[in-house]
């Protein structure tokens, strides 16, 4: 396995792993602002999608689609955001972020400055978020089962 001692994604000590496959793992991103935020991390220290052979690239995207599908089924977001940046950590990882119209950044990207919100809007999102948090264990269970079933 290609690893880099300096890379935090090669070490992966404190991750909340939902599923671990032969070549990739899926973790829950414990960001209280974004219930359901999930990351797919390739095990090898590889920077770009086009550095992967086709079969591995397809395998990685297949996992991303499984995450998107489970998120939609279990949490019913208004939109799903997908991103692969790696500017800070050039080790392939995909962000899969369920978004809701009421969330703290919508319709901006979650990396953008927060749009202003009224107290009523903040309270409404807080209450919606609390309800979503109760559904996370069900999502995590359904996702792990789907990945286990479809693993190569």
Angle between helices 54-75 and 119-150 (to 10 degrees): 130
Beta carbon nearer to its own copies, 15 or 68: 68
Beta carbon nearer to its own copies, 47 or 134: 47
* Residue 44 CB, nearest approach to its own copies (Å): 17
Rounded to whole angstroms, how far apart are CA atoms 29 and 18? Answer: 10
Beta carbon nearer to its own copies, 113 or 134: 113
* Residue 84 CB, nearest approach to its own copies (Å): 4
For residue 126, give the H/E element and its range: helix 119-150
Q: Which two tokens stand for residue 69?
A: 């599908």
For residue 99, give the H/E element and its range: strand 93-99
Residue in 21, 2, 95, 12 with CA at minimum distance from that of residue 59: 21
* Residue 42 CB, nearest approach to its own copies (Å): 14
Beta carbon nearer to its own copies, 33 or 134: 33
* Residue 13 CB, nearest approach to its own copies (Å): 22
Rounded to whole angstroms, how far apart are CA atoms 144 and 137? Answer: 11
* Residue 18 CB, nearest approach to its own copies (Å): 18
State the residues that interact with its own copies by CB under 8 A. Answer: 47-50, 57-58, 61, 65, 68-69, 72, 79-88, 90, 99, 106-109, 111-113
Beta carbon nearer to its own copies, 49 or 142: 49
Exposed e or buried b per residue across 74-89, where buried means at least 16 C-beta atoms within 10 angstroms of its C-beta: bbebeebbeeeebeeb
């Amino acid at each position: 396995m290609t690893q880099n001692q300096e890379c935090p994604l090669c070490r992966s000590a404190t991750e909340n792993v939902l599923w671990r496959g032969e070549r990739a793992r899926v973790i829950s991103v414990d960001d209280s602002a974004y219930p359901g935020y999930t990351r797919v991390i390739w095990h090898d220290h590889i920077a770009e999608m086009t550095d992967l052979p086709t079969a591995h690239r397809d395998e990685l995207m297949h996992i991303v689609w499984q995450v998107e599908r489970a998120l939609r089924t279990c949490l019913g977001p208004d939109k799903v955001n997908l991103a692969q940046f790696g500017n800070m950590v050039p080790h392939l990882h995909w962000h899969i972020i369920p978004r809701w119209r009421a969330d703290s950044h919508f319709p901006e990207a979650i990396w953008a400055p927060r749009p202003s919100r009224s107290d009523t809007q903040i309270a409404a999102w807080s209450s919606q978020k609390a309800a979503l948090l109760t559904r996370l264990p069900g999502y995590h269970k359904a996702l792990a089962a789907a990945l286990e079933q479809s693993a190569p």
